[in-house]
Amino acid sequence: MVQDLIRDSTIGQIVNYVSNGRLLPYPEQRPGYVVPKHFLLPSSERKNYNAVASDAATLCGDHDKTKEGSQVSSPPDTEIKREPTASTLALDLESQQKQVDDATTVPDPYLVGWDGDSDPENPRNWSFRKRAFVAFNISFLTFSIYIGSAIYTSSIPGLMTEFNVSLTTATLGLTLYVLAYGIGPMFLSPLQELPLLGRNPVYMATLFLFVVFQIPIVTATNMNTVLAMRFMTGFFGSPALATGGASMADIFPESQFAYVLGIWALGAVAGPITGPVIGGFAAQAKTWRWPMMELLWITSFAVVFLSLFLPETYEPTILLRRAQRLRKLTGNPELRTATERSEESQSAREVIYESLVRPFVLAKEPALAFANIYLGFVYAIFYLWFEAFPLVFIDIYHFNQGVSGLPFLAFIVSGSITYTVYCFYQKYHVAPRFARAAAANTKVAPEIRLEIGLMASIFIPTSLLLFGFSSKASVHWIVPVIGAALYLPGIFLNFQSILMYVTSAYPAYAASVLAGNDLFRSTIASVFPLFGRTFFTNLGLGPGSALLAGISFLLMPVFWLLLKYGHVLRQRSKYAHSA
């Protein structure tokens, strides 16, 4: 397993290419590999057939001459080799012709695909241990980028002091990062859908650039450099955030996808949660540069580790590389994968339209418009916590900068409990409904995915109200911590619910739907931290939280209407799956 992991990783691919397959070889590159007969060119086989037939005719003619009296003698002390008889040649000819005929009976003989349902190169056929390890790698990649958003908040006080800038200007470093990783997938994620590239080259190239652009932040001598480089790091970090779920879908079957997507989502949430914890102590003990150095260390390690142990998971890319090896081995240029053949008819204009235009076209769909607005609102409040926590735990409870980040760990506790409940819900409520539908040969409506999201929506205003009105010196600090922790079930289950729904309702356009949602929610969320402290300072923590809770209450009936009448919207849409 380890050798295959390294072979399929970025470094392994380079070693295999440079050594021409001698090091870390694939089955097609090992001695003794037998090429399937139907991959051989019939034209070359027919040439062999004609050549053998001509030789047979010649030998038969010579045999007749011998019968007429011609005597053939052999030189002394030499071995006489027995020539094939006409009957043997006829059998050989018949065998070769049968091979040619067999090739023509194979449906689409030049189509390169998996070698049966148990092909070990198919990511969904990997052992559970291998898939679990790869899932950990993908989650670690996502964590490494997501931690970069919130770890910056620990540097804001130091940036304000050193560069003499306002709080709003310093907070722009968070805003530009979040905005950039919403814009980035519009340009970078489509590259991962190209079989010629696949997931890994984009992941590793952009992660490397993330590290490179992080260096000017650590050494910056002015605020403009920090802001510009924060945007660039967010932009190049975006593939890990946008496509991590798709990588999970590459290696796990549909029946397990909801579970593994939840694990990946927890890894994503853990990044912003732990960022202020580790960054706060570093900024307190040293300077604002140290949280940025910690991010540089984490992502540098990720580059080395994942370059060695993160294999390619995108099926069209794996099959394309197999087809390239087989074309080189057989000399048959007609060997193609299904994706290669379909892409031959796709114009550059269509590719650009799908990646840059279609997400905005789909955003006008009522169901998707609600998904974008609601998740954007939920996501924005999540980033408001990074402005509210210093007001509460530093100004009211007088925690120091390092300790003031520890309340974020409450999100990890509530997240673990939420994920456990979510797994039980999937196993004992959702899975049986799909099983009954399959037995009855019917379909389950995508709207069932919204049920748990609607139920979890109540956690959002509850969390806001409890946190806002309990943040007083007369109330123990654990109460607002519990109030904040209750927000995690709301955001986690809403994300799982709505994203599963939109991909189920628009399966043919899932990539565009997710890219559009990522852009809209990141854009909305990026703006909120800019006025977060002013918002809570002017209105007060209680009234400010009450206002946000009221907005969430107003959105809940819309959520219910989508659950109730979503099937009607799908029937009227030319993009949605109406069944």
In a domain, 80, yes or no: no
Q: Report if residue 60 sits inside a domain.
A: no
Q: Cα(486)–Cα(133) distance, rounded to whole angstroms?
A: 30
pLDDT at 560: 94
The alpha carbon of residue 427 and the mean position of all alpha carbons in its chain are separated, in whole angstroms, by: 24
Q: What is the mean pLDDT of residues 114-118?
A: 88
Distance of alpha carbon 524 from alpha carbon 547, whole angstroms: 17
Q: With 60 as the cut, is the pLDDT of residue 99 above it?
A: no
Average pLDDT, the chain: 85
Residue 281 maps to a domain = yes
Q: 93 lies in a domain?
A: no
How confident is the model at residue 246, as a pLDDT? Answer: 85
Radius of gyration of the chain (CA): 31
Percent of the chain with pLDDT over 90: 52
Task: Identify the CATH number of the domain in which residue 256 sits.
Answer: 1.20.1250.20
Mean pLDDT (whole number) for 150-163: 93
How many Cα atoms sit within 13 Å of 203 on the Cβ side?
Answer: 33
- For residue 438, the model assigns a pLDDT of 87
Does residue 483 share a domain with residue 374?
yes
Q: What is the pLDDT of residue 217?
A: 96
Rounded (10°) angle between helices 223-251 and 128-150: 160
How much is the pLDDT for 52? Answer: 39
User: Tens of pLDDT along 409-447?
Assistant: 999 999 999 999 999 999 999 999 989 988 898 888 999
The whole-angstrom separation of Cα 312 and Cα 12 is 11
Can you name the residues that pair with 111 across neighbouring β-strands?
Answer: 336
Q: What is the mean pLDDT of residues 551-557?
A: 92
Angle, alpha carbons 240-245-246 (nearest 5°): 95
- The answer to whether the beta carbons of residues 410 and 484 sit under 8 Å apart is yes
| Long-range contacts of the stretch 321-326 (C-beta < 8 A, 24+) | 322/26, 322/28, 322/112, 322/121, 323/112, 325/21, 325/26, 325/28, 325/29, 326/28, 326/35, 326/39, 326/112
Tell me: do 329 and 358 sit in the same domain: no
Residues 437, 321 share a domain: no
Query: Whose structure tokens read 């037998």?
Result: 34
pLDDT at 363: 85
Whether 156 and 227 share a structural domain: yes
**φ, ψ for residue 111 (rounded to 5)?**
-85, 120
Q: What is the mean pLDDT of residues 375-394?
A: 90
**DSSP H helical ranges for 128-253:** 128-150, 156-163, 167-192, 199-218, 223-251
Query: Do residues 132 and 251 touch, judged by C-beta distance below 8 A?
Result: no
pLDDT at 556: 92
- pLDDT of 261 reads 87
- More confident position, 63 or 13: 13
Closest CA to 206 of 299, 290, 291: 299
299/234 Cα distance (integer angstroms): 13
Are residues 391 and 336 both part of a single domain? no
> Which structure tokens are listed for 353?
């339209």
Number of domains in the chain: 2
Same-domain status, 278 and 382: no
Q: Which of 346, 367, 385 is where one domain is finished? A: 346
Which residue matches tokens 């979040």? 178
Q: Which residues contact 467 (CB under 8 A, 6 or more apart)?
A: 388, 392, 480, 483, 484, 487, 541, 545
Query: Is the pLDDT assigned to residue 384 strictly greater than 70?
Result: yes
Spatial contact of 280 and 404, defined as CB atoms under 8 Å apart: yes
| Same structural domain, 307 and 431 | no
Angle at 82 between CA 80 and CA 86, to 5 degrees: 150
Least confident segment among 81-90, 127-136, 183-192, 236-245: 81-90
Q: What DSSP string runs through 455-509?
A: HHTTHHHHHHHHHHHH-STTS-THHHHHHHHTHHHHHHHHHHHHHHHHHHHSGGG
Pick left, alpha or beta for residue 85 (phi over 0 → left; psi -120 to 50 → alpha; otherwise beta).
Answer: beta
Is the pLDDT at 103 greater than 80? The verdict is no
Residue pair 145/271 in contact (Cβ under 8 Å)? The answer is yes
Residue 19 pLDDT: 93
**Do 472 and 564 fall into the same domain?**
yes
Q: How far apart are CA 204 and CA 227, in angstroms?
A: 23
Whether residues 579 and 529 fall in one domain: yes
| Predicted pLDDT at 106 | 55
Percent of residues, the chain, with pLDDT higher than 70 = 86
Instruction: Give the CA diameter of the chain.
Output: 125
Supply the pLDDT for residue 211: 96
Closest by alpha carbon to 514, among 343, 261, 260? Answer: 261
Amino acid letter, residue 73: S
The verdict on 332 and 283 lying in the same domain is yes
The domain in which residue 557 lies consists of 353-579
Question: In this predicted model, what pLDDT tens digit does every residue of 470-500 receive, in sequence order?
Answer: 999 999 999 999 999 999 999 999 999 998 8
Q: Is 326 a domain residue?
A: yes
Burial of 566 (0-12, 13-18, 19+ CB in 10 A): buried
Residue 111, classed as helix, strand or coil, is: strand
Note the pLDDT of residue 89.
Answer: 41
- Exposure string over 193-204, b if 16+ CB within 10 A, otherwise e: bbbebbbbbbbb
Mean pLDDT, residues 530-540 taken together: 90
For residues 317 and 367, state if they share a domain. Answer: no
Is-contact 13 308, C-beta < 8 A? no
Mark which of 346, 370, 404 sits at the end of a domain. 346
What is the mean predicted confidence (pLDDT) over 57-62? 44
User: Are 287 and 156 in the same domain?
Assistant: yes
Residue 136 CA to residue 125 CA, distance in Å, equals: 17
Q: Is the pLDDT assigned to residue 508 strictly greater than 90?
A: no
Choosing from 346, 375, 397, the residue where a domain stops is: 346
Confidence tier at 74 by pLDDT (50, 70, 90)? very low
Position 348 scores a pLDDT of: 60
| Pairwise CA distance, residues 156 & 162, whole Å | 10
Q: How confident is the model at residue 245 (pLDDT cuts 50, 70, 90)?
A: confident
Give the bridge partners for 336, in sequence order.
111
Q: Cβ–Cβ contacts within 10 Å for residue 136, how many?
A: 14
Is 458 a residue whose pLDDT tops 90?
Answer: yes
In a domain, 46, yes or no: no
The 3-class SS string of 392-423 reads HHHHHCCCCCCHHHHHHHHHHHHHHHHHHHHH
- 80 or 106, greater pLDDT: 106
Q: Residue 101, Cα to own-chain centre: how many angstroms?
A: 43
- Is there a contact between 467 and 479 (Cβ–Cβ < 8 Å)? no
CA-closest candidate to residue 36, choices 317, 324, 329, 318: 329
